[in-house]
């Protein structure tokens, strides 16, 4: 093992029994564990956040299988690289099985043309595809490839899993054993917690701590809580403003406001801001929630949300965080009614799917002289001429009479 390579690289498992975590798919009675052990793998897509073990699992497969194992990175590879891999697999002199396991890291970065180039060879069995992606493959990967593959969702590693890997790194020759490191389990657990499920972040932090700390007079390297905290720095946010977590987080933000939980709304707002989300995008979501979910239960919510959006646009970050928090809290703590939301949806459904009839003649416009002769505007009652400024007359077309769109609920005064 080349000890000049990063610790995270050196600590990658070589065999399946060294792999830590993902028990929901790699437990000994699970199908993925059994197929890898038996070398009967079919095409799979590994989907999960950075540092959860996708590439490590591919390495385990490469050490386990009898098939030729070829690795490509979607960032640097194109259709010619795919064709070369296929030719290698089909060369029976060099590869008697006529098959290969093709590992494509960041497969979501392959365009449609590149993904289509793979399809016939996955279909005929020449290629057993192992794709790794941090993005939702159901959005980013060709549906034909998805239908021919099993998708496995990898979760962020637990802090206990990461602690176990950190502990192993201190006792192995390919790890940090030669450095004679002294570190409390409590400090290791703090590194595991700060890494937020990313074992690569944890190992990198530990390595930085060891390499930048001087030995004492006994030849030992003591890693304290302060040294560990300085090496790992800020807690790693599980948020990618362009990725799947963006949609999960904004969904949680909206649903927290709708569910009248201001604490959760502020939390997801903070995660979005910390991850670099556009403040105006968040302001627009609050405006929509103020109308869709609060509506007539508190019409002032729309006024507050709109004013907040204008203020965010004028002020910008970092002060915009205060304005967004105020508006999100106001919407979350307001009474809720979706009466107008349901009403417009039902009306749009009606006008697009059925014969709704004609506008009654007495409320039609009669801008030109002589149109009254044809009944335009004839018989219209001006509401302000009547007590209370209301008068009973027909407004809906004959075919839509008695249809109700706005149905007041218990939260509307």
The residue ranking higher by pLDDT, 195 or 386, is 386
pLDDT tens figures, 261-273: 999 999 999 988 8
How far CA 338 is from CA of 290, 310, 330, 359, in Å, comes to 10, 24, 17, 27
Lowest mean pLDDT among 100-114, 166-180, 359-373: 359-373
Stretch 37-46: mean pLDDT: 89
Residue-wise pLDDT for 1-36, tens only, equals 566 788 888 888 888 888 988 899 888 888 898 989
Radius of gyration of the chain (CA): 31
User: What's the CA gap between 241 and 287, in Å, rounded?
Assistant: 20
Worst-scoring range by mean pLDDT, 13-27, 57-71, 221-235, 277-291? Answer: 221-235
Distance CA 77, CA 297 (A): 56
Give 300-334 pLDDT, tens digit per residue: 999 999 999 999 999 888 899 999 999 999 999 99
**Nearest alpha carbon to residue 180 among 204, 224, 229, 216:** 216
User: Residue 222: is its pLDDT beyond 60?
Assistant: yes
Q: How confident is the model at residue 253 (pLDDT cuts 50, 70, 90)?
A: very high
Fold exhibited by the domain 244-333:
Zinc Finger, Delta Prime; domain 3 (1.20.272)
Cβ neighbours of residue 186 closer than 8 Å, sequence gap 6 or more? 225
Q: What is the 3-state secondary structure (H, E, C) of the chain?
A: CCCCCCHHHHCCCCCHHHCCCCHHHHCCCCHHHHHHHCCCCCCEEEECCCCCCHHHHHHHHHHHCCCEEEEEECCCCCHHHHHHHHHHHHCCCCCCCCCEEEEEECHHHCCHHHHHHHHHHHHCCCEEEEEEECCCHHHHCCHHHHHCCEEEECCCCCHHHHHHHHHHHHHCCCCCHHHCEEECHHHHHHHHHHCCCCHHHHHHHHHHHHHCCCCCCCCCEEECHHHHHHHHCCCCCCCCCCCHHHHHHHHHHHHHHHCCCHHHHHHHHHHHHHCCCCHHHHHHHHHHHHHHHHHHHCCHHHHHHHHHHHHHHHHCCCCHHHHHHHHHHHHHHCCCCCHHHHHHHHHHHHHHHCCCCCCCHHHCCCCCCCHHHHCCCCCCCCHHHCHHHCCCCCCCCHHHCCCCCCCCCCCCC
Helices 185-194, 199-211: axis angle to 10 degrees equals: 130
**Exposure of 206 by Cβ count < 10 A (0-12 exposed, 13-18 middle, 19+ buried)?**
buried
- CATH classification of 159-232 is 3.40.50.300, yes or no? no
Share of the chain above pLDDT 70, in %: 96
**CATH class given for the domain over 22-153:** alpha beta
Cα separation, 265 vs 212, in Å, equals 40
The pLDDT, as a whole number, for residue 292 is 94
Q: Give the domain ranges of the chain.
A: 22-153, 159-232, 244-333
Give me the pLDDT at residue 284, please.
94
User: For residue 148, what pLDDT band results from cuts at 50, 70 and 90?
Assistant: confident
pLDDT digits (tens, 9 = 90+) for 120-145: 888 888 888 899 988 888 888 888 88
**Torsion angle, CA of 370/371/373/377, rounded to 10 degrees?**
-130
Both tokens assigned to 58: 């591919």
pLDDT band at 233 (very low <50, low <70, confident <90, very high): low
Mean pLDDT for the stretch of residues 377-406: 91
Confidence of residue 243 (pLDDT cuts 50, 70, 90): low
Could you tell me which of 47, 30, 20 has the C-alpha nearest to residue 130? 47
Check pLDDT > 80 for residue 71: yes
Q: pTM value?
A: 0.63
Q: Which two tokens stand for residue 233?
A: 């720095």
Q: For residue 14, which of 162, 168, 139, 128 has the smallest C-alpha distance? A: 168
pLDDT at residue 298 tops 90: yes
Give yes or no for residue 254 having a pLDDT over 90: yes
Report CA 129 to chain centroid distance, whole Å: 24
Between CA 405 and CA 412, with CA 411 as vertex, the angle to 5 degrees is 55
Q: Between residues 167 and 114, which one has the greater pLDDT?
A: 167
Q: Are 264 and 252 in contact (CB under 8 A)?
A: yes
Confidence (pLDDT) at 301: 96
Supply the mean pLDDT for the chain.
87
Mean pLDDT of 152-179: 90
Rounded to an integer, what distance in angstroms lies between the CA atom of residue 25 and that of residue 155? 10
């Amino acid at each position: 093992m080349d000890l000049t390579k990063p610790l995270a690289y050196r600590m990658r498992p070589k065999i399946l029994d060294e792999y830590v975590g993902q028990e929901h798919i790699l437990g000994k009675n699970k199908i993925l564990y059994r197929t890898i052990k038996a070398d009967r793998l079919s095409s799979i897509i590994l989907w999960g956040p950075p540092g959860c073990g996708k590439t490590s699992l591919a390495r385990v497969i490469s050490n386990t299988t009898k098939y030729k194992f070829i690795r490509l990175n979607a960032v640097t590879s194109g259709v010619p690289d795919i064709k070369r891999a296929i030719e290698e697999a089909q060369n029976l002199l060099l590869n008697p099985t006529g098959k290969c396991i093709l590992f494509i890291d960041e497969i979501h970065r392959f365009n449609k043309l590149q993904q289509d180039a793979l399809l016939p060879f996955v279909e005929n069995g020449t290629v057993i595809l192992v794709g790794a992606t941090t993005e939702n493959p159901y959005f980013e990967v060709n549906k034909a490839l998805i239908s021919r593959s099993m998708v496995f969702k990898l979760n962020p590693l637990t802090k206990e899993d990461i602690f176990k890997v950190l502990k192993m790194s201190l006792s192995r020759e390919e790890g940090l054993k030669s450095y004679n490191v002294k570190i409390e389990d409590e400090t290791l657990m703090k590194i595991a917690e700060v890494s937020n499920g990313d074992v690569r972040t944890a190992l990198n932090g530990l390595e930085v701590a060891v390499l930048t700390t001087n030995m004492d007079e006994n030849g030992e390297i003591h890693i304290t809580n302060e040294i560990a905290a300085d090496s790992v720095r800020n807690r790693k946010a599980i948020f990618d403003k362009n990725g799947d977590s963006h949609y999960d987080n904004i969904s949680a933000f909206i649903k927290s406001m709708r569910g009248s939980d201001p604490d959760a709304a502020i939390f997801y707002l903070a995660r979005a801001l910390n991850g670099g989300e556009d403040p105006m995008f968040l302001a627009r979501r609050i405006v929509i929630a103020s109308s869709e979910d609060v509506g007539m239960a508190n019409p002032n919510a729309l006024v507050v949300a709109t004013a907040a959006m204008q203020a965010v646009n004028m002020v910008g970050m970092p002060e915009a965080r205060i304005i967004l928090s105020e508006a999100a809290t106001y919407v979350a703590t307001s009474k809720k009614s979706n009466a107008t939301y349901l009403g417009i949806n039902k009306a749009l459904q009606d006008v697009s799917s059925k014969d709704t009839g004609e506008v009654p003649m007495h409320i039609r416009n009669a801008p030109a002289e002589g149109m009254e002769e044809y009944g335009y505007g004839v018989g219209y009652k001006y509401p302000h001429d009547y007590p209370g400024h209301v008068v009973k007359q027909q407004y809906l077309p004959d075919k839509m009479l008695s249809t109700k769109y706005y149905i007041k609920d218990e939260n509307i005064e």
